Amino acid sequence: MASNRKIVPECHQAIDQMKYEIAAELGLPVGQHAAQMGNVEFATELGTISAGSIKEDYWGHITSRDTGAVGGAITRRLVQQAEQTLFGLH
């Protein structure tokens, strides 16, 4: 049975930072990037979100395919970092 308990609870901030960096690289409008791109105003006009409700962690307007791409990229980077650490490939 899977659990959401993190083995290293302090990793949350690092993973979140990586998530938003990858989303920005992929051009996905989330968090601060969404506000900079003007998508908050667009979503507000559509009635998707209210003006005061946008948060860093709001991903409701992003497709499952795109969020999966972010998750896949996170996994690739973490595996790459682990390989570099294990094999000394700095």
45-90 per-position pLDDT tens digit: 555 444 444 455 778 888 999 999 999 999 999 999 999 998 886 5
14-33 per-position pLDDT tens digit: 888 899 999 999 998 887 65
pLDDT at site 2: 65
Token pair for 67:
């969020």
From start to end of 1-90, where are the E strands? Answer: none
Burial class (CB in 10 A: 0-12, 13-18, 19+), 66: middle
Domain boundaries, the chain: 11-87
- pTM for the structure as a whole: 0.62
Confidence of residue 34 (pLDDT cuts 50, 70, 90): low
What sign has the CA pseudo-torsion 9, 6, 55, 38? Answer: positive
